[in-house]
């Protein structure tokens, strides 16, 4: 079974990429759906209808299956190399995966609300909400690549600085959009 490890790892990575792509784009569609809900008729109805179809196809055909397959292949990899579970970097990575699953489930809730015409968040909130998987992605990639070589203090400070830079970038972008 060991000879299949690189293939399983490759499939795991492919589905992680498609999962993140879906998460990034679905929240962008949420932004557009929220903004469309504030437009006058008939523009509002036309945009809402099209955006609901786009969101539904992305969420149900790409994002959900990608999450399930990424987790399936990830668990398979862990079953092949159970000794990774004892490593601190893997435990931290799994904590980030858990956070990503929670994020995904929150997106599911927002998706259902928007599909039913219920808008509970602003487009600005959604733009900030869309940065959470970016922080998780950076954290996990550095964690997996550096493994035990990671200095936890520098890593933590780095993630905080990265999050601050994202927020500053968002504020600059918001000011530009409002002009």
Annotated binding residues for heme: 12, 93
Residues 6+ apart with CB under 8 A from 9: 73, 77
Instruction: Kindly report the number of other CB atoms within 10 A of residue 19's CB atom.
Output: 23
* φ/ψ of residue 81, rounded to 5: -130, 65
Contacts of 114 (CB under 8 A, 6+ apart): 30, 33, 34, 52, 55
Q: With contact defined as beta carbons under 8 Å apart, do 66 and 18 qualify? A: yes
Which positions make up the binding site? 12, 93
């Amino acid at each position: 079974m060991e000879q299949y490890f690189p293939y399983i790892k490759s499939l795991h990575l492919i589905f992680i990429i498609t999962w993140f792509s879906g998460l990034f784009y679905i929240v962008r569609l949420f932004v557009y759906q929220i903004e469309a809900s504030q437009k006058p008729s008939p523009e509002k109805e036309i945009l809402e209808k099209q955006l609901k179809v786009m969101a539904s196809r992305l969420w149900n055909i790409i994002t959900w299956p990608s999450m399930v397959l990424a987790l399936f292949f990830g668990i398979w990899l862990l079953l092949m190399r159970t000794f990774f579970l004892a490593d601190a970097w893997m435990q931290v990575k799994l904590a980030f995966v858990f956070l990503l699953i929670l994020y995904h489930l929150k997106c599911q809730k927002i998706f259902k609300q928007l599909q039913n015409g219920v808008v509970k968040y602003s487009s600005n909130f959604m733009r900030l909400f869309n940065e959470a998987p970016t922080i998780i992605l950076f954290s996990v990639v550095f964690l997996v690549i550096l493994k035990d070589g990671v200095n936890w203090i520098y890593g933590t400070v780095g993630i905080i600085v990265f999050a601050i830079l994202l927020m500053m970038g968002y504020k600059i972008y918001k000011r530009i959009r409002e002009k």
